[in-house]
Amino acid sequence: MKGFSMVWFLLIIAGLFETAWALGLKYTEGFTRLWPSVGTLIAMTASFLLLAHCMKTLPVGTAYAVWTGIGIVGTVVLGIFLFNEPLSWPRILFLLMILGGIAGLKWLA
Q: How far apart are CA 12 and CA 40, in angstroms?
A: 18
Written as one letter, the residue type at 66 is V
Mean per-residue pLDDT over the chain, rounded: 93
Q: What is the pTM of this model?
A: 0.88
pLDDT by residue (tens digit) across 36-55? 999 999 999 999 999 999 99
Q: Give 32's Cβ-side CA count (13 Å radius).
A: 3
